Amino acid sequence: MNQLVNSLVTQKSILITGGAGGVGKTTAAAALGTIAALETDRKVLVLTVDPAKRLADAMGLAKFGNVVTKVDLSGFGERSPKGELYAAMLDTKASWDDLVIRYAPNMRVRGEILANPIYRNISSRFVQSHDYIAMESLYDLYNKGDFDLLIVDTPPSRNAMDFLDAPERMADFFSSKLLRWITAPYRSRLVATAFKPFYQVADRIIGSDFLEQVAEFFILFQSMYDGFIERGKSVSALLRSDVTSFLVVTSPEYLPMREAEFFLGALRERHLNLGALIVNRSLPYYLGDQNAIQIAQRLIADSEILVKDRFLGVDPRIMRGVLSEIGSTYLDFSNLYGQQHNLLATLLVDKAKVLATPYLETDVADLTSLERIGSNLDFVKF
Ligand SMILES: Nc1ncnc2c1ncn2[C@@H]1O[C@H](COP(=O)(O)OP(=O)(O)OP(=O)(O)O)[C@@H](O)[C@H]1O
Ligand SMILES: [Mg+2]
């Protein structure tokens, strides 16, 4: 195991992957969990969001859904795992309900919130609420202390750092003017009279009782305000503390790298700890090797000399074509590797924290490929 990977999985308690859509955040989280459980004595939980179906199957998540499930690592033959691996899928709705149950001032409010149609929609469908609840569940799991290492996968979000700010945004939201404005008619008779015509029209357009439900929801929710604010602060503090490291995942192409750059900047601004920049699906480093490049050039330039008469019983003209095609394809890949490497070199990041892992020929859908990805993670040479 690479030494940086080793220090991350043994010295940290929380690792959070983030990055552009489809770059391999879920794969990286699962791969790190797999090698950490195989090679260290830690009890690891991978908290994943929306994993690809086949990966969920491989980790036994398809059967158990949101329940924390032990992953069977017995398929590695002689290599019996030193630690333990567990996985769970984040269930936004159930986590929101837990939160309401915890912070509602009394049973009546709790019941009313859980039954409120707006709440039911927000908690199960509102994408932003996912970010908040992911951080919230993480805090809860960390405090319960059942695991040594929590590896958290984040959802693909339009704004890569949405989840970093989620706890604070939630606190801002509860004290916002908009919220006071929406709930005002329901809190004061005077304002209610003034707004009546507006609400009547709005209800006719949007559907009856909609605004009333919205207002009711927020009034109920405000009763939990203090609990939320306090909790949000604790969650932020945990994300900033030394036990947590962020792993920015990218693929080596232009757009994901630009997004990674943005993400790295966001971590710096917020004084959050960068564990590593993981360049997933990297081309092999030997594509940049000068000796290899010279060989490829010779295959093209000297193909005449390299091919003896009827070498391997093949017509020399065909053989020459094959050799120079191999040479030029190799050079194409070398070029691509060079471009990707140069792009990587421009990122403002501590180069000792840049790790790469190769492009596997198959989809990553079993524990063996996860192990391969994890154990192949290695420093990029600059
Ligand atoms: N190194 C790799 N080699 C081959 N295939 C890979 C590699 N890494 C990831 N994949 C494949 O790429 C796809 C996307 O990976 P993954 O689901 O981990 O990305 P993600 O960043 O979590 O995506 P999303 O943003 O949608 O959550 C998956 O099908 C996965 O199996
Ligand atoms: Mg994912």
Q: For ligand 1, is residue 22 a contact (CB within 6 Å)? A: yes
Total domains in the chain come to 2
Q: Is the pLDDT of residue 192 over 90?
A: no
CB distance 53 to ligand 1 below 6 Å: no
Task: Flag whether 346 is in a domain.
Answer: no
Pocket probe for ligand 1: among 61, 364, 369, 373, the residue whose CB has the most ligand atoms within 8 Å is 364
Residue 17 — pLDDT band, cuts 50, 70, 90? very high
Q: Do residues 116 and 229 share a domain? A: yes
Q: Provide the CA 90 distance to its chain's centre, in angstroms.
A: 12
Distance of CA 153 to the CA centre of its chain: 4
**Domain final residue pick, 341, 359, 376:** 341
For 222-250, what is each residue's pLDDT tens digit? 777 777 778 878 888 999 999 999 999 99
CB of 132 closer than 8 Å to CB of 170: yes
Regarding whether 216 and 295 lie in a shared domain, the answer is no
Answer with the one of 235, 253, 272 that is the final residue of a domain.
235
Residue pair 40/10 in contact by the 8 Å Cβ criterion:
yes
Q: Which domain holds residue 330?
A: 288-341
Q: Give the whole-number percent of the chain exceeding pLDDT 70.
A: 83
Domain membership of residue 176 (yes or no) is yes
CA nearest to 151, candidates 243, 76, 74: 243
What is the tens place of the pLDDT at every residue in 326-363? 999 999 999 999 999 999 999 999 999 999 999 998 88
**Which residues, listed in sequence order, are joined to residue 149 by a DSSP beta bridge?**
44
Whether 328 is covered by a domain: the verdict is yes
Distance CA 211, CA 332 (A): 60
Average pLDDT, the chain: 84
Ligand nearest to the backbone CA of 90: 2
Query: Nearest bound ligand to CA 48?
Result: 2
State pLDDT tens for residues 28-65.
999 999 999 999 999 999 988 766 777 777 777 766 55
Residues 6+ apart with CB under 8 A from 98: 140
Question: CB-based contacts of 128: which residues, under 8 Å, 6+ apart?
Answer: 162, 166, 169
Whether 319 and 191 share a structural domain: no
- Identify which ligand lies nearest to the alpha carbon of 256: 1
Per-residue model confidence (pLDDT) at position 99? 79
Lowest model confidence (mean pLDDT) among 21-25, 207-211, 316-320, 346-350: 207-211
366 C-beta closer than 6 A to ligand 1: no
104, part of any domain: yes
